[in-house]
Amino acid sequence: MNAIEELKNKMFLAANVQKNTKQQITAFEIKNLKLWYASHQALFDVSIDIPANQVTSIIGPSGCGKSTFLRALNRMHEVTEGARMDGSVKLFGEDLYAKNVDAAYVRRRVGMVFQKSNPFPSLSISENVLVGLRLNGISDIKTLKQRLEESLRLAALWDEVKDILDRPGISLSGGQQQRLCIARALAVQPDVLLMDEPCSSLDPIATMRIEDLIQTLKEKISIVIVTHNMQQASRCSDKTAFFYLGRLIEYSDTRTIFTNPMNPQTEAYVSGRFG
C-alpha cells in the first residue's frame, strides 16, 4: 500500500515537473499597477504576467496608457516630474520598486527603444553602441570590441556599418538609426527590451527588417512592444494585451485576441471599428 502511494506521488511529481518545464517562465509579474501624472490617473489596477523569451505586444488607442505602462516597467516614468506609481512590478521574482533597488540598475536590466530613433548626435556609430558600457565604467578594449560587434550583429546592422564605424551615428538612414538604437540598448545586455512604437516613423521595408530582428532577438531576451499597428502586433507577437482608458481590457495569446476576443471592446478595436 505504502509502495503504491509512493509510486503515485513520484508520478505526480514527475508530471508536475514536466508541466512546469512546458510552462512559460514569467519575466514580469505585475500586480495592481496604478500610475498618476500629478492628479491625473493614467493606469488603473493593471495586473499582468509577461512571459520570458516571447514577444508581448501592447495595443490600444492613443492615450490608453500603453506607453505609460511600458515606462513603468523600467521606472522611466520617474524621469517625468510629478509621476508616481503604486502596486508591484517583479522581474524574475525581483521587486523592481524595492527600496534598495536603484532605478539605474533596473534600466540596465530592462532596456528601452523609443518611437523616435535617438542616436547621440555627437557620437560615432561605435561610440553610440558602446556609450552605455563605457559610461558604466567598462574600459577593457577587448570586451568593448567584442560587445560592439556582437550588439551590431544582433541588431542586424553589422554588415552595413562595419566599415564606417567612425562615422556619426546620425549619418545613417532612419531604419538604420533605429537598429543602431537597438544595438545600443542590447550592448548593456539587458534581460528585457521594451520597444515604444519602434517602427512608427519607418517605411515598410525598414519596418519589416525590425520585425524580423524582433523574431531572432526573442531567443535571447524577452520583448515587450507597444504598437499602433495591429498588423504588426499580429505578425510579430506571441501575446497581446489590449489597453483602453488606462485599464487592461484583455490579455491573451495573440491569435485569440485577433480571432476570438472575449471582450466586445477588444473585438471592436481589433476589427477597426474604433480607435
Partner 1 sequence: MNSTSQNFQQGLNTKRIYSTRSFKNGLVTAILGLATLLVLSPLVSMLIFLIKEGASSLNWDFITQLPKPTGEVGGGMANAIIGSLVLLSLASLIGVPLGILGGIYLAEYGTRKFVIWVRFAADILNGVPSIVWGMVVYAVFVIPFKTFSAYAGGIALGLIMIPLIMRTTDEVLILVPQGYREAGYALGLSRWRIIFSIILRTARKGILTGVLVAIARVSGETAPLLFTALGNVSWSHDLAQPIAALPLQIYTYAISPYEDLHHQAWAGALVLMFLVLSINIIARYISRRKAYN
Summarize as ranges the residues that interact with partner 1 (CB under 8 A): 74, 76, 79, 103-109, 111-112, 114, 116, 118, 120-124, 131-132, 135-136, 168, 170, 181, 184-185, 188
6 three-state secondary structure: helix
Query: What are the angstrom distances between the C-alpha of 204 and each of 9, 107, 172, 175, 210?
Result: 55, 30, 17, 10, 10
3-class state of residue 239 by DSSP:
strand
Question: For residues 134 and 190, is the Cβ–Cβ distance under 8 A?
Answer: no
For partner 1, give the closer residue by CB, 180 or 249: 180
C-beta closer to partner 1: residue 6 or 94: 94
C-alpha cell at 10: 513520484
Minimum CB separation of residue 250 from partner 1 in Å reads 28
Q: How far apart are CA 31 and CA 89, in angstroms?
A: 7
Question: Shortest Cβ distance from residue 104 to partner 1 (Å)?
Answer: 5
Count the Cβ atoms, other than its own, within 10 Å of residue 4.
8
200 or 256: whose CB is closer to partner 1?
A: 200
Q: Which is nearer to partner 1, 1 or 104 (CB)?
A: 104
Residue with Cβ nearer partner 1 (177 or 240): 177
For the bound state, the minimum distance from the C-beta of residue 81 to partner 1, rounded and expressed in Å, comes to 8
| Nearest-angstrom CA–CA distance, 169 and 123 | 6
User: C-beta of 121: minimal distance to partner 1 in Å?
Assistant: 5
Is 244 within 8 Å of 255 (Cβ atoms)?
no
Minimum CB separation of residue 71 from partner 1 in Å reads 9
Q: How far is the CB of 201 from partner 1 (least distance, A)?
A: 12
Closer of 117 and 234 to partner 1 (Cβ): 117
Asked if 72 contacts 94 with a C-beta cutoff of 8 angstroms, the reply is no
Phi, psi of 198, deg, nearest 5: -70, -15
CB 189 within 8 A of CB 157: no
- Is residue 205 exposed (0-12), middle (13-18) or buried (19+ Cβ within 10 Å)? exposed
Query: Nearest approach, Cβ of 212 to partner 1 (angstroms)?
Result: 23
Q: Which is nearer to partner 1, 196 or 250 (CB)?
A: 196
Cell numbers that stand for 150 in this block: 556582437
Q: Which of 158, 156, 126 is nearest to 216 (CA)?
A: 156
